[in-house]
Amino acid sequence: MVMKEAIGPARRMDVLHDTTAPLLDVEGLTVAYVPAAGSTPQARREERYALHDLTFRVEARELVAVVGPNGSGKSTLFKVIAGTLASDAGRVTVYGHGPGEHICIAYVPQRSQIDWSFPVTVKDVVMMGRVGQIGLFRRPRREDWAFVEQALERVNATALRHKQIGELSGGQQQRVFIARALAQQAELILLDEPLTGLDVPNQEAIFAVLEGLHEDGVTIMVATHDLQLAADRFGRVMLLNRELVAFGPPEEALTQANLLRAYGGHMHVLPGSDGDLVLADTCCDGHEDEL
């Protein structure tokens, strides 16, 4: 790539990578449900889990889909892996170290979580991904701008660089946030419902970007409601409903028994004409409030 020389010295956090350890190692992860402020003391005493006793591994260069109904803990899981939310029990390590020691884990939020009227342009947003590497009291250097340009190029958003983020379409907004993760030099990218609310061409455009990154060795986890897509396009699928229902290749994970366990009443199971099952996730497209 043209920008190779511009990339500069070793990444600040590389020293922390124990590359003999799995990229992501999760053991007995449990997160207690946090009751809303002002709820009754009784509700606060009731024991509930957002996530309960999850154990799994993700190797480097995997492309993983995380599926499950609304409130199944997908966002919570991503936030714990990203190190922005503490767990109540269990252990999460990324290359052998706690998530909080890395700046190479990017979390791409649901679009509904962002204030799109905020006075920033596309390149401002992508540059935010560089703030960790730039460090306190410094201004962006030439190589930081090179990273931004390169990231924009990767997601086909170079022409959008001077637009305010509210002027973009949903698909463009999503690609800009992926570019921000690239500018962060993320090795693990967690995308929270990136395809929700997008039409098929836009979903395909996002997917083309993700598959390109995957080929370049970035590990990607995508939370999605689209079971068809999870089955067709991902190497492994995680079925989640506060507990880990299944995690494996699509044909092993997405069995009828597993889907019923994960979705329960939210799942429509219809006998198809040739004896196959037609499965539909009846979840709405709305944003999830899992915490």
For another protein, the binding residues (CB under 8 A) are 35, 37-39, 44, 79, 82-84, 100, 102-103, 105-107, 109, 113-115, 118-121, 124-125, 127-129, 131-132, 134, 136-137, 139-140, 164, 180, 184
The CB-of-2 to another protein minimum distance in angstroms stands at 26
Q: Which two tokens stand for residue 44?
A: 């606060």
The CB-of-121 to another protein minimum distance in angstroms stands at 6
Torsions phi, psi for 146 (to 5 deg):
-65, -40
The CB-of-16 to another protein minimum distance in angstroms stands at 11
Shorter beta-carbon distance to another protein: residue 157 or 244: 157
Shorter beta-carbon distance to another protein: residue 125 or 262: 125
Nearest to 231 by CA among 215, 251, 209: 251
Give the three-state DSSP class for 279.
Answer: strand
Shorter beta-carbon distance to another protein: residue 32 or 229: 32
Q: Which residues contact 86 (CB under 8 A, 6 or more apart)?
A: 80
CA distance 94 to 33: 24
CA distance 259 to 269: 9
The CB-of-59 to another protein minimum distance in angstroms stands at 21
Shorter beta-carbon distance to another protein: residue 107 or 147: 107
Shorter beta-carbon distance to another protein: residue 107 or 263: 107
DSSP structure string for 254-265: S-HHHHHHHHGG
The CB-of-93 to another protein minimum distance in angstroms stands at 16
DSSP structure string for 202-252: HHHHHHHHHHHHHHTT-EEEEEES-HHHHHHH-SEEEEEESEEEEEESHHH
Shorter beta-carbon distance to another protein: residue 130 or 236: 130
The CB-of-82 to another protein minimum distance in angstroms stands at 5
What burial class does residue 10 get, using C-beta atoms within 10 Å of its C-beta: 0-12 exposed, 13-18 middle, 19+ buried? exposed
